[in-house]
Structure 1
Amino acid sequence: MSDFTFLEQESEDGKIFFVKIHAPWEVLITYAEVLNIKVPIRENDIPPMVENPLDCVLLPFRLPEKVMHPEPDYFTAPFSKDKQELYLINDESTFFSPSMRNRIVNYILTRCPYGTEEGKKKFGIKRLLNNGTYTAAYPLHDCQYWKKASDPNCDSERYTLYMEWARFLRFYKEQPLDLIRKYYGEKIGIYFAWLGFYTEMLFLAAVVGLICFLYGLFTMDENMSSKEICDPSIGGEIIMCPLCDRDCEYWRLNTTCESSQYSHLFDNVATLFFAIFMGIWVTLFLEFWKRRQARLKYQWDLVDFEEEQQQLQLRPEYEAKSVLSCRCVSNLSFCAQVSLIIASMIAVIVYRLAVYAAFASLMENTQTLQPISGLLTPQLATSVTASCLNFVIIMILNFFYERIAIWITDMEIPRTHMEYENRLTMKMFLFQFVNYYSSCFYVAFFKGKFVGYPGAYTYMFNRWRNEECDPAGCLIELTTQLTIVMAGKQIWGNIQEAIVPWICNWWGRRKARNNPENLYSRWEQDHDLQSFGALGLFYEYLEMVIQFGFITLFVASFPLAPLLALMNNILEIRVDSWKLTTQYRRPVAAKAHSIGVWQEILNGMAILSVVTNAFIVAFTSDMIPRLVYYYAYSENEDSPMSGYINNSLSVFLISDFPERNEPKENPENFVICRLAYRDYRYPPDHEKRYLHSMQFWHILAAKLAFIIIMEHVVFIVKFFVAWMIPDVPADVKAKIKREKYLTQKILHEYELEKLKERLCQGDKRATEKEFIATEGRMELSRAM
């Protein structure tokens, strides 16, 4: 570590000893060449893009040019110690940006040896942190976030970021991505660029979803199904079979009047339109993001940043240890954790089945066959309480899975940082996918599908009878589940990200607040902040990708999901920027040219969302049964949907109840009751009594046909849109080619001048043949 300059100082309380490391110029230029860092060689003379005619309209949303573009645009080239005069080195102290400097220092510290143990070399700041030799290692912020630095030569970029970006009152302003990249590095800059673009695209989805919701709201009174359910002479005269064995009584269909009306808000013809729209929207989002990402790669000199460069940078843990065969153990551990998630999901289902009968018996009035609450049905009460319980279990399991996933990935000892992040990302995403979405999949595709009928009910573990959907369908319950889990996750996430760090920092600075500011040094102030950590950005991506799943996989059941996500993300951008600027130590700068493996995860979820929404419309909503009745079974030409409720409810003879299913009392001595909604079974006087009728098979065929048609239509449109939109804009391609040519020309001219100087000085190594060869290469570059 002799290449560093040290500043040692004891803290004001005398309990902590700080070592400030400064990398001299020679160290910086040496490792700049090792890390292939690009630096300016000439100011960019390519004409800027033509001004957007909408710029005057967008002016209130713009930031000052100095904030948006804090430094000129340059032609750049990888740094070489032998060509220092080629680069625009006006001041050695500011030539490398702060993010470049802390990236270089961190690279050295992670590989710096400090001793041997049992013949093995020990090195790396991470190991010193793990064994307690040091408590923290972090780059310093440049100033206080609430005021500029006293040194006039300091740019005070942290202060600028706070004033122009990290305050919530600036939520309507664009993000200063170039300044974010300059201060925090490309990896964090790419994240905020993606989050901002995602939020912008959500605006369109939120508007369309709101329109679909309003359509359902304004057409509630026109819904013939809910009218018949609420009509005392129709729904009030239909007696439904008990919802549970023995303890539950008969009940009247009109007791579900309110829930059937509210179900129409999300189960209407707009549902189909919105499901198709979101299938196309997600394609537009991913394709336009590729274009935006390509533009950023050009603007941030990341065009030639290849994955192979990262592959060359081995993780110190891999270099220090011999790789053992831990893959089998890690895979077994991974499978065990997924099994635990599935077990927890089964536990929630058992809870639903156990309390379902209790709610059904408690919420009935045996004298009038009316529920205690007309809106809160047993199905909805079970769904709400189960959703809350499921959310609590999700939060608890997440706490353990994060640590287990890291432990499993560490056991595998991945070769590179990129390989480590990719493996951890896939493990954590699969954990979270099963954890968050399993309950929604259960309600959407399994609940109410395997109920059976009296005498042949389906039981879990031969004890708990499978729960039925609400007579208005399971879609309203899926909406409830989605709303509770999605909203709860976003609220809890903001509490974790904003309030918890603020409280921790407030408590940590309680003693320092009593000291004069001149005794509270910059490094002490930063030490009292929270650590962003190597996986800090990983958790931010994970949170947003899980949200992306909620608004795509199940959006057919909840058109307002994009609106909730939009409002959350507007807050999320400012919360993330605020905590990064004010509550966390400055992260180590890292380079990245894309969002990495998250792009593939988003692509996979986009394809899966088409399938899930097609199945939701077909099997969870009531749309297909209504259409089949409308076109094939309706007998009323003036009002085709009248009689639908009576047609869809199967008849069961009460005298056929087995003792296990028969209720304890029958207060009005009913002869028949109706089975589960949309069950379509032959009546008791038919030779095929209680078997599925032909209408059931017609509806099933229509559902399967709808799924095939919808999937093919959406997939064809998706692939056509993806084919029509190029990943890299044409103007960016042209600029990349021109800049490569001009940069190559500058480098060749430099080499040519050097050779001329050597010839003039009589350098025997620079022969005439070498000169002619170089001149020939120049002519070739001009011809390209």
Structure 2
Amino acid sequence: MTKMEKKKQERRREFEANLEKIGLQLETEDKADSKDQKTYFLKIHAPWDVLTTYADVLKIKVPFKLSDIPHSQDVPLEWLSHPFRLPEHIMRPQPDYFTYPFDKAKTDFFLITDKDTFFPPSTRNRIVYYILARCPYYKEGRKEREKTGIKRLLSNGTYTAAFPLHDCQYWKRARNAECESERYNLYKHWASFLCFYKEQPLNLIRKYYGEKIGIYFAWLGFYTEMLFFAAVMGLICFTYGVLTYDDNVSSKEICDANIGGNIVMCPLCDKKCPFWTLNSTCLSSWQSHLFDNEGTVFFAIFMGIWVTLFLELWKRRQARLEYEWDLVDFEEEQQQLQIRPEFEIRCTNRRLNKITKEMEPYLPVTSKCARFCLSAATVLFWISLILACIIGVIAYRLAVYAAFASIIKDPLRNIQLVGRFITPQLATSVTASCINFVIIMILNFFYERVAIWITDIEIPKTHLEYENRLTMKMFLFQFVNYYSSCFYVAFFKGKFVGHPGKYSYMFGKDSGLRNEECDPGGCLIELTTQLVIVMSGKQLWGNIQEALLPLMRNWWNSRKGRHRPENHYSRWEQDHVLLNFTQLGLFYEYLEMVIQFGFITLFVASFPLAPLLALFNNILEIRVDAWKFTTQFRRPVASKARNIGAWLEILNTVAIVSVVTNAFIMAFTSDMIPRLVFLYANSTNGSMSGYINNSLSLYNISAIPESNMPEEKDNWLINSTETCRYRDYRNPPGHPDQYKHTMQFWHILAAKMAFIIIMEHVVFMVKFFVAWMIPDVPSDVKARFKRERYLIQEYLHNYEVERVKLQLSASFITEPQSEMSSMTDKHEVLSECL
């Protein structure tokens, strides 16, 4: 045995001895009985006396009276929701009680019918872990505060794992009456994919896993429910685009051989790109109409209101859960104020805590500033790296567009049939989006580890502070990583092109990388393509990771012991081979959903079907997460949480930004405003006829510089036209102010700015009005809370009165006897003195 092994053995001996002094019961399984014959298992049992002692310390709320308040009022047409409901004993595994913080001196005040089931499983494992986290592993008499807790023993390798045990098998109900069946019920009614349309058993989740995990699934379920309304409205908007497909005058003009076929467009890049006819974009113009139509404006406004309703109604649902789960008086900071072991170990300086009057470790201001600067510099470096990658993808788009343009010829010149369906713009957009998605995944993989590393460098004092800092770093990075390419297509592409004879270049004219132009139908269809690839790719990859990786890792861990009979494969061994659910497990689940929330709100005006995709993903996500928790992960230590924490503020910020981004998308990315200006200001017959010709400017082909002309001369172009067209509002050749913006350009710009201002003000006014109209706490919850407070005071008063009566009656019975004995004693003493 090495010196390190002896040291670990000594730590275990002292730690276990201290646990027994506290009152816990320990039972060791010999390594010869384990499946690998190398691992010892130490089982910890908490007797009733220990549970009551620490329930008093932690002020855990327990029932003292059966609730007499009806749980819910009658709902009209309740039979419609019957197919989506679960059995009552699953939804409510225990009756509703009035609760009060446990007091060991008043055990007869509480409803204790069975000591084995009085404290639910989540409460029992929370109490035990609370003891383990504070129990020292040094000898009595020595004061070494840094040698305390199971976390340090796990980090230094003294123990390999510490986890609460699951119930019996999840795939069948246990025959042993002593084995609880919550895990089986969760697997059957929650984790099964056949129950995708059923409600979640939140009370059973809370009872088995604790409030923090219960709050996450409550939020995810509510978010999915609200997505249903957004998905229906988006589907209606898309259906409107399909139904008005044949009424799209602009696309008909583009596809008409006599109109679009006679419009010769200027080359879209230098040298490699030929002149082309407008009707070659016939297919993309029809596709663009499906998402860029009058219904899109309504849908963008609707989503601005929807996101407000979602956040406000969630606050109400959260308030109801706080009351039902006894979280109203719970302060999360009290649970999280425990100093992280890493902070105590790495901070050698000590100072007096003004509250506890004890010496505690602290980080000097100079060290804190230096660490913060290093952290900020690292975050800025990685964000700069993302932007550099985006610039690289843009350069790829510019360089490859010319190559695709030379390969995919004009379909009207009887070249390849594939050209009828794949345009250079589409080929460039799809390949660039795929490359961008791969870059996103690679950068995300590395930055997750970098974010944890720099957060560890900052040495946050508490776990709550650690999680909040990591949350902000990860979200800021992923916001830039996932959305920057969409921001480029939406707000920058096609905006800085210039015009023939005076084009703008990305790295100067010598680079030959001319800035991209939008399709004649606008950049919206390219934004849609970018959004579909990134959003769908992320969701597909995430589901594959969440479903397959735990399954494969658990199979690999347990491959050596599965051949043994089940009765020799103990519960603790079965749980030991499962994956460990870390403290940051829920962090990644929230992050995934918040990024998705950004996709369906920030850019939803370009793709109304995004909420529908998110709805399908979340229905699957709930069941995949439930399956993981029930079958693939060890049972996590139960912990409390009143709400979703810092994520709510992030959702509020995204909701506000989404109003601005959607307004700008409708104004500058969509072609809606120019069409409306033409319809109401320039149209002679009140129709869109002539819009395409009106939206294109003229340029003399003879005036195009040689550096911009195609290398291959087109025979069909000779003697057919002297001008080419380009997308802009500029004066034609021969005009006194030729190639300068026309007055119509400024009218359209003014209309775009007016639309942005009006839309933002309307949506924000409705948002604030809705937020003001909907109270955060439902009135019935307030009433029930006040009644519970009143009953608590009444029952405590009656309880204390009864106790006083009993004490007084006992006093009256014993006082005469005590007085007689006292007089006898005095008489005997006086007799002896005489």
**Band of TM-score, shorter chain:** over 0.9
Percent identity reads: 69
Q: Is the 8 A contact 1:630 1:640 kept in 2?
A: yes
5+ residue gaps, structure 1: 764-784
Residue 338, structure 1, aligned to residue 361, structure 2: no
Letter in 1 for 2:64: I
Q: What code does the residue aligned with 1:740 have? A: R
**Residue deviations 1:107-127 (CA, integer Å, cap 9, x gap):** 222333324999772233223
In 1, are the aligned partners of 2:332 and 2:641 still within 8 Å (CA)?
no
- Which residue pairs with 1:184 in the alignment? 209
Write the letter of the residue equivalent to 2:643: S
Q: Is the 8 A contact 1:468 1:676 kept in 2?
A: no
Q: 1:259 to 1:221 in 2, by over 3 A?
A: same
RMSD over aligned Cα atoms = 2.0
Equivalent position SS for 2:503: coil
Output the CA distance in 2 between the equivalents of 1:192 and 1:600.
18
Amino acid in structure 1 at the alignment position of 2:485: S
Residue 711 (1) aligns with residue 760 (2): yes
Match of 1:633 in 2: 682
Structure 2 partner of 1:567: 616
User: Contact 2:138–2:144 at 8 Å: present in 1 too?
Assistant: no
Selected match of 1:584 from 633, 636, 653: 633
Distance 1:690 1:538, change over 3 A: same
Partner Cα separation in structure 2 for residue 282 and residue 615 of structure 1? 18
Q: Give distance in 2, aligned partners of 1:356 and 1:31.
A: 69
Check whether the contact 1:238–1:673 (CA below 8 A) recurs between aligned residues.
no
Residue 199 (1) aligns with residue 224 (2): yes
Mapped contact 2:312–2:771 kept (Cα < 8 A): yes
Deviations 1:72-125 (A, max 9, x none): 111111122222222222233222111111112222223333249997722332
Query: Residues 554 and 609 of structure 1 are in contact (CA less than 8 Å); yes or no, is this contact kept in structure 2?
Result: yes
In structure 1, the partner of 2:497 is 451
Local SS of the residue matching 1:459: coil
Which of these residues, 636, 645, 652, is aligned with residue 699 of structure 2?
Answer: 652
Aligned to 1:662: 709
- Please tell me whether residue 84 in structure 1 is matched to residue 104 in structure 2: no
Matched, 1:513 2:562: yes
- Residues 314 and 250 of structure 1: CA distance in aligned 2, closer, same or farther (over 3 Å): same
- Asked if 1 retains the 8 angstrom alpha-carbon contact of 2:410 and 2:419, the reply is no
Residue in structure 2 matching 1:593, options 637, 642, 662: 642
1:538 to 573, 580, 587: 587
Separation (CA, whole Å) in 2 of partners of 1:127 and 1:465: 59
The structure 1 residue matched to 2:122, chosen from 96, 99, 105, is 99
Match of 1:127 among 135, 143, 152: 152
Aligned to 2:452: 406
CA contact (8 A) 1:655 1:671 kept: no
Counterpart for residue 404 of structure 2: 359
2:12 aligns with: none
- Summarize the Cα distance change of 1:129–1:345 in structure 2 as closer, same or farther, 3 Å threshold: farther
Counterpart in the other structure of 1:778: none
Alignment partner, residue 195 of structure 2: 170
In the alignment, structure 1 residue 328 sits paired with structure 2 residue 377: no
Q: CA deviation at 1:597?
A: 1.1
**What does residue 643 of structure 1 align with?**
690
Which residue identity lines up with residue 7 of structure 1 in the other structure?
E
Q: 1:171·1:570 contact (CA, 8 Å) conserved in 2?
A: yes
Distance 1:76 1:318 in 2: 36
Q: 1:561/1:470 Cα in 2 relative to 1: closer, same or farther (>3 Å)?
A: same
- Deviation, 1:453, is 1.4
Contact 2:280 2:412 in 1 (8 A): no
d(CA) in 1 for partners of 2:414, 2:308: 50
Q: Distance in 2 between matches of 1:674 and 1:153?
A: 85
Matched position secondary structure for 1:165: helix
Cα 1:94–1:100, aligned 2, differ >3 Å: closer, same or farther?
same
Say if 1:143 and 1:149, in contact at 8 Å, map to a contact too: yes
Worse-matched range after superposition: 527-536 or 24-33: 24-33
2:81 is the alignment partner of 1:58: yes
Q: Which residue of 2 aligns with 1:471?
A: 520
Larger Rg: 2
SS in 2 for 1:494: helix
Q: 1:740 is matched with which residue: 774, 777, 789?
A: 789
Deviation at 1:738, TM superposition (A): 0.6
Answer yes or no: is the 8 Å Cα contact 1:250–1:666 preserved in 2: no
Distance in 1 between the 2:443 and 2:779 partners? 47
Following superposition, the deviation at residue 675 of structure 1 comes to 4.5
Give SS of 1:465's match: coil
Per-residue deviation, 1:761: 4.5
Q: Does the 8 A contact of 1:186 with 1:591 survive in 2?
A: yes
**AA paired with 1:60?**
P
Q: 1:5 aligns with which of 15, 19, 25?
A: 25
State the SS of the aligned residue for 2:191.
coil
Of 418, 423, 426, the match for 1:380: 426
1:41-56 alignment runs, 5 A limit:
41-56=64-79
Letter in 2 for 1:620: T
What residue in structure 2 maps to residue 782 of structure 1? none
Q: Distance in 1 between matches of 2:412 and 2:346?
A: 75
**Shift in alpha-carbon separation, 1:122–1:334, aligned structure 2, 3 A:** farther
Letter in 1 for 2:123: M
Is residue 247–residue 664 contact of structure 1 (8 Å, CA) maintained in 2?
yes
**Contact conserved, 1:318 with 1:415, CA < 8 A, in 2?**
yes
> Residues of 1 paired with 2:573 and 2:221: CA distance?
33
* Structure 1 equivalent of residue 394 of structure 2: 349
Q: Which residue of 1 aligns with 2:52?
A: 29
1:260 aligns with 285
Partner of 2:37: 14
Distance 1:430 1:163 in 2: 39
The offset of 1:607, in angstroms, is 0.9
Q: Please say which of residues 315-324 and 419-428 is displaced more in the overlay.
A: 315-324
Going from structure 1 to structure 2, the CA distance change for 1:676 and 1:505 (only over 3 Å counts) comes to farther
Shift of 1:702: 0.4
In the other structure, the counterpart of 1:622 is 671
- Structure 1's 119 and 56: CA in aligned 2 closer, same or farther, altered over 3 A? closer
Cα deviation for residue 688 of structure 1 reads: 1.4
> What does the per-residue CA deviation read over 1:197-236, in whole Å, with 9 as the maximum and x for residues that have no partner?
1111111111111111011011111111111110011110
Scaled by the length of structure 2, the TM-score of the pair is 0.88
Question: What are the Cα deviations for residues 295-331 of structure 1, in whole angstroms up to 9, with x where unaligned?
Answer: 1111111111124423543333334442241222222
CA distance in 2, matches of 1:82, 1:348: 69
Shift of 1:366: 10
- Residue range with higher mean Cα deviation, 210-219 or 352-361: 352-361
Deviations 1:749-772 (CA, angstroms, capped at 9, x unpaired): 323333444444559xxxxxxxxx
Change (3 A) 1:361 1:66: same
**Matched residue of 2:787: which SS?**
helix
Deviations 1:574-606 (A, max 9, x none): 111111111111111110111111111111111
Using the alignment, how far apart are the partners of 2:294 and 2:724 within structure 1? 27
2-side partners of 1:448 and 1:357: how far apart?
A: 16
Deviation string 1:6-58 (CA, Å, 9 cap, x unpaired) is 22222122122222222233332232233221111121122333221322221
User: Partners of 2:773 and 2:411 in 1: how far apart?
Assistant: 63
Distance 1:714 1:134 in 2: 56
Which residue of 2 is the match for residue 149 of structure 1? 174
Helix, strand or coil: the match of 1:8? strand
CA deviation string 1:522-566 (max 9, x = no partner): 011111111221111111111111111111111111111111111
- Which of residues 60, 72, 80 in structure 1 aligns to 2:95? 72
In 2, the alpha carbon distance for the partners of 1:33 and 1:331 equals 43
Contact 1:249 1:663 in 2 (8 A): yes
| Partner amino acid, structure 2, of 1:155 | E
Moved more, 343-352 or 254-263: 343-352
In 2, distance between residues paired with 1:742 and 1:673? 87
Given that 2:274 and 2:712 are in contact with CA atoms closer than 8 Å, whether structure 1 keeps it comes out as: yes
TM-score, normalization by structure 1: 0.94
Q: Tell me how far apart the structure 1 counterparts of residues 587 and 706 of structure 2 sit (CA, whole Å).
A: 57
Partner-residue secondary structure (3-state), 2:481 = helix
Deviations 1:716-758 (A, max 9, x none): 1111111111111111110000101111222233233334444
Helix, strand or coil at the partner of 1:7? strand
Distance 2:215 2:412 in 1: 65
Q: Residue 418 and residue 518 in structure 1: after superposition, are their counterparts in 2 closer, same or farther (change >3 A)?
A: same
- 1:427-459 Cα deviation digits (max 9, x unpaired): 111111111111111111111111111232111
Alpha-carbon contact 2:234-2:299 (below 8 Å) kept: yes
Task: Supply the AA of the counterpart residue of 1:652.
Answer: Y
